[in-house]
Amino acid sequence: MAIPLISNVGFTEVSSSGSLNTKAGDKTKLPIQFFRLSGAISGALTLDNNSAHKKIILDTNGNNITNSSGSPLTTNSSTTLELKGSGNVQSTLKTFTSSGSGDTTISEADNSTVAVQTDTYEFDTALIDDNRSAGSGASFGDGTDSVRRPTDSGSTSLLVSGTYFSTGYATLFGGKALTNINRSDFAMSFSHAFLEDGTPISGAIVGPSGPSTFDGVSADQPDTNTTHSVGGETYRFMRWNSALVGVNNGNSGTFAIEMFIDVNTGKAVVAIIGGRGAFNQIKNVDVVGPTAGRRFIFTNNLAISCVLSGSNPFDATVSAGATNQVDRDSTDSSFSLTGTISGNDGSSRPFALKDINDGTGSVNEDAYTGTKSVSAF
């Protein structure tokens, strides 16, 4: 049915997305603007402010307006847009993405957040994994080092492994308290410099409650494991009385191993007690301890649940106002996620990540009978 020409009314048929001001052409100067859809619209209809407009009507005429990437309407007019008709006006945007390597606010999801914490989660990892061939280990050497046991008031000279005599290894051993040695998963084996003596692996030690064997031989648990306060700090002293046998198939005796942090220098001490240092070597060493991992926390600020996917690191359904925490056993702080919403409100209106209008203007729906989408915000 033709629309009668009425003075001061600008009538415009709309068949595609875009600017309603542009579609009205010269008629945009008239005070009353009447827009009527002649077909379904995919995308957004926009309306800029025009001081000449006193009344604006948008009649869906039974046709739908859908926008998969945002709001179906963007009106910035200071005059209220009156929405009429039975056509659906919906945003079908239901997914959001986010990636980064630090704390992030996701504006597309109602300022939901991802927190990346670097100091709240630790995981056990191999700190030392030394594997050497028999006869090619780390020698104790024949020269002694002056060190101070935490059990003693003064220094003493011991056959100390030069390979591990450093502050760096003191840290890897777990500091003054030897926290990474005082574990069941600590292990160390020994070898001889001369394999023709028939004992390529001359012994092994493990931490408290450690396994009975390591590196193919019987393993000795600590015989002495004590703590001592020195200068207001706690040191640990550990000793294995029957750690290894000497050369000549052990006919030269059985030797002890002591481990502690030198009170004088802060260096790690692995000392052989008895025997000749140059004939004895440290073969394999396993030290496991905590290291800083990454904790990721997603907080859902949407009004409804969302499903996180991508497994980097999130893969969960998170209720409105709830959080999802994932701990990562590495120092990788990067994340990448896709969030998806679904469902309808109590009036069977589908949820979307955008309102039907994302402009500064207002929309009156009193005469509208279609089904609009509603924001999940």
The whole-angstrom separation of Cα 58 and Cα 35 is 5
Q: Domain locations in the chain?
A: 9-92+348-375, 95-118+295-340, 122-292
Q: What is the pLDDT of residues 21-52, one digit of tens each?
A: 999 999 999 999 999 999 999 999 999 999 99
Asked if residue 253 has pLDDT above 90, the reply is no
Query: Could you report how far apart the first and last alpha carbons of the chain are, in Å?
Result: 41
Model pLDDT for residues 155-199, shown as the tens digit of each residue: 999 999 999 999 999 999 999 999 999 999 999 999 998 887 777
What's the mean pLDDT in 309-314?
A: 98
**Cα four-point dihedral sign 96, 323, 377, 343:** positive
Buried/exposed code over 140-177 (b: 16+ C-beta within 10 A; e: otherwise): bbeeebebbbbeeeeeeebbbbebbbeeebbebbbbbe
| pLDDT tens, residue by residue, 198-223 | 779 999 999 999 999 999 999 999 99
With b for 16 or more beta-carbon neighbours within 10 A and e for fewer, the 77-104 pattern comes to bebebbbbbebbbbbbbbebebeeeeeb
pLDDT reported for residue 243: 97
- What is the side-by-side strand order in the sheet with 104-106? 104-106, 112-117, 294-299, 323-328
Residue with tokens 């690191």: 313
Distance CA 207, CA 209 (A): 6
- Please give the model's pTM, rounded to 2 decimal places: 0.83
How confident is the model over 279-289, as a mean pLDDT? 97
Q: How far apart are CA 46 and CA 361, in angstroms?
A: 11
What are the b/e assignments for 232-253, b being 16+ CB within 10 Å? eeebbbbbbeebbbbbeebeee
| Alpha-carbon gap, residue 106 to 114, rounded angstroms | 8
Q: Got the DSSP string for 332-377?
A: ---EEEEEE---B-TTSPBEESS-SB-SSS-EE-TTB-S-B-EE--
64: CB partners within 8 A, 6+ apart: 40, 41, 87, 88, 89, 90, 370
Q: What is the pLDDT of residues 349-364, one digit of tens each?
A: 999 999 999 999 999 9
Residue 1 confidence class, pLDDT cut points 50, 70, 90: very low
116-144 pLDDT, tens digit per residue, is 999 999 999 999 999 999 999 999 999 99
Predicted pLDDT at 199:
79
